[in-house]
Structure 1
Amino acid sequence: MSPIRMDAGGGLAVTTGVDVGPALETLLAEDIPARLAAADATLWGPDAAEEAAIRLGWLDTFERSRALLPVVTRLRADLAEAGIHRVVLAGMGGSSLAPEVICRTLDVPLTVLDTTDPEQITRALNDQLAETVVVVSSKSGGTVETESLRRAWVQAFTDSGVSSVGRHFVVVTDPGSPLEQLGTAMGAHVILADPDVGGRYSALTAFGLVPAALAGVDVEELIDEAAAFAETMAAAPPENPAVLLGAALASRPTVAITEDGTGIVGLGDWAEQLIAESTGKDGKGVLPVVVESPTAPGATAPGVLSVSVGGATSHAAAGSRLDQPDVSVNGPLGAQFLCWELATAYAGRLLAIDPFNQPNVAESKDNTKQILDSGVPSEEAVFVEGPVSGYGVEAANLPDAITEMLSSVGTDGYLTVMAYLDREDDARLAELRRLLAERIEAPVTFGWGPRFLHSTGQFHKGGRPTGVFVQITADSAEDLEVPGRPYGFAGLQAAQAAGDRQALRDRGRPLLWLRLTDRAEGIDRVLSAAKEDGS
């Protein structure tokens, strides 16, 4: 085992026992930390320079975000005076994951809608409508899920007879986007985000801070934490924790992320989209896996870098021993955001990947649009077991189908479960990741659709071409209309799932589709079958 090394600064510490010496030497010999701190857009090669030149605003965006503080403070007070205190966030990917982490970590209520599941949406629409403000968050202003949710909320407020529908909306978007114009027209409060920051690097911009602030978080503290950590960006080791983390991330093909119990909650979901979408392209990349605990199946295995995150820096001083993760990242949340962003940029340099583009994200979106126009293609089930129908395999029953998928995972492969369901009421399905990871040594990931399409979906299509996929969809008891559109949310959800199946099949990826006609019974059957060895 390599000697334990801890780099610390700006209130955060990274500790590791992994040998990252050659990678660190490469980064330091080429003066990468100082060049990144100076926003050098050429660090990732000539092909990436044009994109990087307009995507490096995250290096100091937290300072520009200070201008938001009086705006959101005044807005929250105005909403409270009007009796509006419940905050709902309608956004996808980078527009929703950071505020969710912030509010979970600080135990502040925030309803996040990053779904097209009609049952989950209906439940949100029926809760405290008169006391609700909806933050509609989209960088491009044209995200289909977010726009569909906006329409549903407008209809709900209108039907309830509220005096001013626009007062119940806050729009966060880039300058000049269609959503800026739409928000102004509907009388919403419009807050413009930093246009030089990509969605997955936007935690410390308006996308991350406005919903959290309206929900009651003191976001100035997050900004201060990031500002303190920013002092380490150009520093030499051992006072540059981010460069040590970046070198470690690039050292292995898979990173398993877990919490250490010292105060950070849900950061793995945010880091997952940052790493997967930034590095999963050109047939390579670092596969992030969010695991339930440091001892969960898949947390440690050959080729896996185990990383724990926490809020107490004192915890990191214990170092990385044999019974500890390979890397510990400990410090306050604002510093964590900036550290992981920097580390991902360093990893992109080491892997010769452009960390700012997402060349394959639009594919499933385009497929969805075509399917919404033409209808979901019909398929014949290979087997039907009560509430579960199976497609795309040779096996004649559910346990054998799951075993067939597990057997399809190669030595350098991974298995992904993609669940297009209600991530609140159907949350127990997430146990499937652990059950399957107990049966194979390869990494097993779990994602809720369409949420993952805006994060790990890039890796599935553009990253290492070794993935094996299990997609789970479910029929809905009732649909919910998308106002002004010829389809409902159930139809949109089905089209998104079908579009993703098409994108993966076009690449020849092994894929088992499980369709549940009854959600509760179907989930029971799937979880039970995952524990069985097929014949």
Structure 2
Amino acid sequence: MSSFALSATGAALDAVETAVPTLVSDRVASRLMAKDATLWGEDAESEASIRLGWIDLFDGSRALIPEILGLRADLQAEGVDRVVLCGMGGSSLAPEVITKEAGVELVVLDATDPQQVRRALEGDLQRTAIVVSSKSGSTVETDSQRRLFEQAFTDAGIDAPSRIVVVTDPGSPLEDASRKAGYRKVFTADPNVGGRYSALTAFGLVPSGLAGADIETLLNDAEDSAEFLGDDAEDNVGLQLGAVLGGTAPLRDKIVFADEDSGLPGFADWAEQLIAESTGKLGTGLLPVVASIDAPELADVAPDVLPVVLAPVDSPAVEGAAVEGTAMNGTRVSVSGTLGSQLFVWEYAVAVAGRLLGINPFDQPDVEAAKKAARGLLDDRPGTAAPAFVDGAVEVRGDADLLGSATTVQAALENLLARLPENGYLAVQAYLDRQGQVELEQVRGPLAEATGRPVTFGWGPRFLHSTGQYHKGGSPVGVYLQLTGTSDDDLSVPGQPFSFGELIAAQAAGDAQVLADHGRPVLRLRLTDRTAGVEQIRAVAGTLAGSGAAWENG
């Protein structure tokens, strides 16, 4: 029996009752589990035909378990029990939630901020192995991290190849280079599984298993749920979840996640990438908003917001598709389940939602633009443009029309928020240290309260592999607040003509350039003193939230 449960009320329940019968009559469930690449239309067929390996991965993934556990035992026998994961997007988000749920330590390095990179590097190298995880084998962040650790191992008198484990697609440049370098172990994953669908492949299992998570139970729970998802029946929870995501009318395209003691810390961050990158294209899509149960977006639910509550397993509030209640203005979705079941059912449901939205859930046509812009800036090395003005510990940049006569951070931010459409959202993008400046996340709630609109918070460059696709390809209703900072202690990238500080600066500038090219309003704030700058931004957000003024959107 599936350990996944769903309840829906209001517009979400209407979507289930309206969309699921059509999905059943179209045999979407059985066709999806049979890997029918025609489900998303002719334009998507060629891509879908090589992206459905996640449907029946269980035997192949289970075969990895003895290799992973054997390697873990060998490393521990050598005194190596600290695992650092160098990976981005789908290569890091799933292992992070798997290990958090298991309560085991995994150092996730999905950053290029020099301070965060240095912190990972300064751990006990004698006890450390790294997992270098990249489907393409050419991800610049991951390659830079590998180079740094390889040099650090060597400098510490450690045989570097013996401490490097690789996960990549077969035939990638990384596979060939790793085998030639004699790295400890090279795992190859099914190339017919996209990165955001790779949680239950080698990309999710290798780092998680090496860190000590119970990956066998994870797979068993996922397979138990999959057993029922091929049924063309109205009680198919995967069809129901797909319907509430993609079938509300009018579309509630802001999916606001709140965790209500689900026991799955970080799950919403994983779902954020899956949903945004899969659906945010062709001017439509679903914007995930990772919030809290007391978030302003859920206190007064807007007509374009779909509240999704992550509930504990066996929660009494989650007993099927139709439950009574008027919580959250009558519209609410609650889901519960073990981690394995949640991972697989959400992958399935997002594929179903893609059919309802009329998009291809397996491509990411706008992700490359920011990468290309960043590479161009690294190659050309243009000088940093002078700020429009400086206020305290913050340099302010933005186009003249946006800034107007502003001379303070608060005035500039007010100008940005005045650009918010009635159905818009604010994206806060922090290219900083997500472990060292974690208090910066506290600006999300006050800004949502100030605007009355959904606010996302993303750490760069990690969000470029996640919501970055939606920002360029989704509904053009966003405004963007980019936060960067100086670094007093930069790190060079061995064998490359740039440092980590230069890399993250290029990534931020490149993304801002692409957003501006798409006509998106971008306010750029650079913190000349990180501690003082963070406090200044938090104070401004608090002032805006406490002003009591109704925001004029549109």
Corresponding position of 1:528: 539
1:168 maps to which residue? Answer: 163
Pairwise CA distance, 1:320: 6.1
Residue 378 of structure 1, CA deviation: 3.3
Could you tell me how far apart the structure 2 residues matched to 1:412 and 1:26 are?
29
Pairwise CA distance, 1:412: 1.6
* TM-aligned CA deviation for residue 186 of structure 1: 2.2
**TM-aligned CA deviation for residue 379 of structure 1:** 2.3
What's the CA shift for 1:310? 3.4
1:96 is paired with a residue of what secondary structure? helix
Q: Is 1:295 paired with 2:294?
A: yes
Give the 3-state SS of the residue equivalent to 1:429 in structure 2.
Answer: helix
**Partner amino acid, structure 1, of 2:76:** A
Give, in whole Å, the separation in 2 of the partners of 1:184 and 1:452: 30
- Which aligned pairs between 1:35-434 and structure 2 lie closer than 5 A? 35-162=31-158, 164-188=159-183, 189-250=185-246, 251=248, 252-291=252-291, 293-299=292-298, 300-317=301-318, 319=323, 321-323=325-327, 326-392=332-398, 393-394=403-404, 395-434=406-445
Distance 2:369 2:189 in 1: 26
Structure 1: distance between partners of 2:317 and 2:276? 25
Q: In the aligned structure 2, how far is the partner of 1:460 from the partner of 1:37?
A: 31
Counterpart CA distance in 2 for 1:316 and 1:135 is 40
- What is the SS of the residue equivalent to 1:477? coil
| Distance in 2 of aligned mates of 1:14 and 1:167 | 46
Deviation at 1:32, TM superposition (A): 0.8
**Greater CA drift, 186-195 or 361-370:** 186-195
- Distance, in Å, in 1 between the alignment partners of 2:275 and 2:383 is 33
1:383-532 correspondence runs (5 A)? 383-392=389-398, 393-394=403-404, 395-532=406-543
**Structure 1 residue 262, shift from structure 2 partner:** 3.2
Aligned with 1:233: secondary structure? Answer: coil
Amino acid at match of 2:334: S
- Secondary structure of the residue that 2:231 maps to in structure 1? coil
Letter in 2 for 1:153: F
Q: CA deviation at 1:375?
A: 1.4
The percent of aligned pairs where both chains have the same amino acid is: 51
Partner of 2:552: none
Gaps of 5+ in 2: 550-554
Opposite residue 183 of structure 1, the aligned amino acid is S
Alignment partner of 2:520: what SS?
Answer: coil
Residues 205 and 374 from structure 1, CA distance in 2 versus in 1: closer, same or farther, beyond 3 angstroms? same
2:193 match: secondary structure = coil
Query: Post-superposition shift, 1:311?
Result: 4.2
Q: How many residues were matched structurally?
A: 525
Retained in 1: the 8 A contact 2:443–2:542? no
Tell me the equivalent position of 1:11: 3
Structure 2 CA distance, aligned partners of 1:273 and 1:262? 19
Contact 1:105-1:265 within 8 A present in 2 as well: yes
The offset of 1:240, in angstroms, is 1.2
Q: Distance in 1 between matches of 2:375 and 2:538?
A: 32
Superposed displacement of residue 265, structure 1? 1.2
Given that residues 318 and 336 in structure 2 are in contact (C-alpha distance below 8 angstroms), is that contact kept between their aligned partners in structure 1? no
Distance across 2 between alignment mates of 1:134 and 1:367:
29
Contact 2:394 2:527 in 1 (8 A): yes
Contact 1:97 1:269 in 2 (8 A): yes
Within 1, Cα distance between the matches of 2:317 and 2:244?
A: 16
Residues 487/509 of structure 1: CA separation in 2 closer, same or farther (3 Å cut): same
Gaps of 5+ in 1: 1-8
Distance 1:84 1:414 in 2: 45
CA distance in 2: counterparts of 1:86 and 1:287, whole angstroms = 35
TM-superposed deviation, 1:63:
2.7
SS in 1 for 2:361: coil
Partner deviation per Cα, 1:209-255 (whole Å, 9 max, x = no partner): 11000000110001100110011112244541111011000121111
Q: What residue in structure 2 maps to residue 6 of structure 1?
A: none
Deviation digits for residues 152-194 of structure 1, max 9, x if unmatched? 00011011111x2111111000000011112112221101111
What letter is aligned with 1:294?
Answer: I
Contact between 1:320 and 1:326, CA under 8 Å: does it hold in 2? no
Aligned Cα root-mean-square deviation (Å): 1.4
Letter in 1 for 2:325: R
Task: Summarize deviations over 1:251-294 as a string: whole Å, max 9, x none.
Answer: 21111112110311111000000000000000110111000x22
Q: CA deviation at 1:37?
A: 1.1
Amino acid aligned to 2:354: G
Conserved? CA contact 2:221–2:341, under 8 Å: yes
Report the alpha carbon displacement of residue 31 of structure 1 after superposing the two structures with TM: 1.1
Aligned partner of 2:3: which letter? G
CA distance in 1, matches of 2:535, 2:327: 34
**TM-score, normalised via structure 1 length:** 0.96
Q: Compare 399-408 and 476-485 and name the one that shifted more.
A: 399-408
CA distance in 2, matches of 1:317, 1:508: 42
CA displacement 1:79-101 (0-9 Å, x = unmatched): 00110000100000000000000
- C-alpha separation between the residues in 2 aligned to 1:157 and 1:493? 24
Q: Give the Å deviation of 1:26.
A: 2.3
- Distance in 1 separating the partners of 2:245 and 2:365: 22
State how far apart, in whole Å, the 1-side matches of 2:475 and 2:456 are: 14
Q: Which moved more, 1:398-407 or 1:336-345?
A: 398-407
> Which shows bigger deviation, 132-141 or 324-333?
324-333
1:108-146 CA distance string (max 9 Å, x none) = 111000000011111111111110010000000000000
For normalisation by structure 2, the TM-score amounts to 0.93
The CA distance in 2 between the partners of 1:315 and 1:428, in whole Å, is 34
Give, in angstroms, the shift of residue 532 of structure 1: 2.1
In 1, Cα distance between equivalents of 2:315 and 2:452: 33
On the 8 A contact 2:20/2:234 being kept in 1, the answer is: no
CA distance in 2, matches of 1:242, 1:75: 35
My pick for the range that moved more, 488-497 or 324-333, is: 324-333
